[in-house]
A and B are shown apart, each in its own frame.
Chain A
Amino acid sequence: MRSIIYLGIGIFFGIILFKSEAASWFRIYEMFHFASFHMYGIIGSAVGLGIIVIQLIKRHRIKSFYGEPVLITPKDKSFSRYIFGGIIFGLGWALAGACPGPMFVLLGAGYLPIIVVLSASILGTFLYGVVKDKLPH
């Protein structure tokens, strides 16, 4: 039963990413040219509302649908990994025009070359796992 819920949430998210054009290479290119408000509007409104939702959950100690406390574990405090990792990610995001969510959307939409990007991103994740102890975190 729960699997169906996860699948349903994924379908909903996939449709949003495609229909909002956030999965389009052109929209990412446009965003880094500051040529339209579209992507900023999507991320900005999602985050703006997200802040309100999470604050409400925390203040009112709202329980999950299963009656458990909603736990949000804070990310580890550091600087290097977030800035260096972030920059590397950003370079790839702009070049491929897709981040991980949209990659799966594009696969479903039938753009076969995304399989190359997706496989390379799995390989990139693997390479990180191999060299991670040598990197500043």
Chain B
Amino acid sequence: MNWIYDPWPWYVSGPLITVVLFLLLMIGKRFGMSSNLRTMCTLCGAGKTSDFFRFDWKAQRWNLMVVLGVIIGGFIASNFLSKDTSVVLDTTLLSDLQSKGFQSTGNTYMPDMLFSNDVFSDPKGLVLLVLGGLLVGFGARYAGGCTSGHAISGLSDLQWPSLVATIGFFIGGLVMIHLIFPLIF
């Protein structure tokens, strides 16, 4: 059972994600994480500003329960199912990231430069986190879904729009990493 404490290989994790997709379909629901962000807007009173947030949020209560579960799952996995959470990367990538200032590469799950509590007193880091979040939230709703709704669920259903969205995700990601990162790190 020791394998459970190690990082799970793709051929275990990928099929398990299909199990999640299957279970949700079989209880009459659709897989989608980012729609919860819209529900959260509605709960914060965004319906006063835009029609887009005037919908019956109670119909989405099930998805908020899934999200609560995801948070608990993250807690359980990091505290009880992992001995060492450092992510092992290929050596070229490791030195590339360390030269960009990501000193914790190879020793942590998330880069200290952006995700240690020191970032709260680092204006540049905070701006990058805010910017990243804004783009994810805006883009997910504009595209009508995120990685779970389009790249997993939509592609599994052979939906043409989901393929376009997934190609978009990759264009955006490649532009950020290869064209914009050299300017900011």
Chain A contact residues, CB within 8 Å of chain B:
2-3, 5-33, 35-51, 53-54, 57, 64-66, 68, 70-72, 74-79, 81-101, 103-114, 116-130, 132, 135
Contact = CB atoms under 8 A, between A and B. Distances in A.
Interface in B34-89: 34, 36-38, 40-41, 44, 46, 49-50, 52-53, 62-63, 65-79, 81-82, 87, 89
Q: Which 10 residue pairs across A and B have the least CB separation, nearest first?
A: A86-B168, A10-B69, A14-B73, A90-B172, A124-B137, A120-B133, A92-B135, A50-B156, A85-B143, A96-B132
B158 interface: yes
Given A30-B89, A85-B142, A89-B146, A128 B172 contact: no
A108 B70 contact: yes
Nearest to A77: B161
Main secondary structure of the interface of A (DSSP, over half): helix
13 contacts: A9-B69, A20-B8, A21-B8, A24-B109, A46-B17, A66-B27, A87-B171, A89-B139, A93-B135, A105-B71, A114-B115, A120-B129, A132-B142
Given A21-B109, A96-B129, A75 B169 contact: no
Contacts of A130: 49-50
B11 A45 contact: yes
A43 B173 contact: no
Nearest to B24: A9
Main secondary structure of the interface of B (DSSP, over half): helix
Contact of A11 (B25, B69, B136): B69
B17 A42 contact: yes
Size range of the interface on B?
35 or more
B5 to A, nearest CB: 9
A56 B157 CA distance: 11
B72 A7 contact: yes
Contacts of A68: 28
A51 to B, nearest CB: 5
A49 B66 contact: no
Contacts of B170: 32, 90
A75 B154 contact: yes
A92 B90 contact: no
Given A17-B70, A57-B25, A36 B136 contact: no
A89 B164 contact: no
Given A86-B172, A101-B148, A121-B136, A23 B74 contact: yes
